[in-house]
Amino acid sequence: MYQFTGADDNRALKAEKGMAATGGKRIHPLTRISRQAMYDAFMRDASDHSLTASTRVRAAFDALYTACLQLVDTQDLSADSGEKFAETVVARALAAMNLPGKDASLVSKLAGWVLHVAPLGPLPMSPEEAVALAERVHRTGRKDNAQSDS
């Protein structure tokens, strides 16, 4: 199961700072505004070359996972098992997105590494590949979500 590290706390603090535009009001963590702030914070870390490759790949997954959460209704999911919850969120988001098969396979591979192997190697992909994948998922999810809202 995922254990938070100091780097995770730091990313969360950065994301909270991103909510300053709300006039200092605390925003419920499940709103799209806070999810976007979290996505941005994770992507900054994923692109930060001063961090280890493993941390950067993990941060890219966290950004990707945040994008997946925007597409999935999690109210009917049990949070008993963090791994099972995350796997279900990713699977449902992939089903909801019109993501090319190769990208869907890479998302599953990345999720498997994060949930069952990380931070150990070998990495499932380079940090740059993970960042590019997270960006594609984010773009696709936003496009698909906008179409379903109209």
User: Has residue 25 been placed in a domain?
Assistant: yes
User: Has residue 1 been placed in a domain?
Assistant: no
pLDDT top residue among 135 and 20: 135
| pTM score, whole prediction | 0.74
Mean pLDDT value of segment 110-128: 95
Report which secondary-structure segment, H or E, holds 9: helix 6-17
Interval 62-81: pLDDT, tens: 999 999 988 888 777 766 66
Q: At 37, give phi and psi (nearest 5°).
A: -65, -40
Distance CA 57, CA 60 (A): 5
Interval 78-113: pLDDT, tens: 666 678 889 999 999 999 998 999 999 999 999 999
Which pLDDT does position 127 carry in this prediction?
Answer: 98
* Domain extent for 114: 6-149
Instruction: Domain count for the chain, please give it.
Output: 1
User: Has residue 58 been placed in a domain?
Assistant: yes
Which pLDDT does position 36 carry in this prediction?
Answer: 86
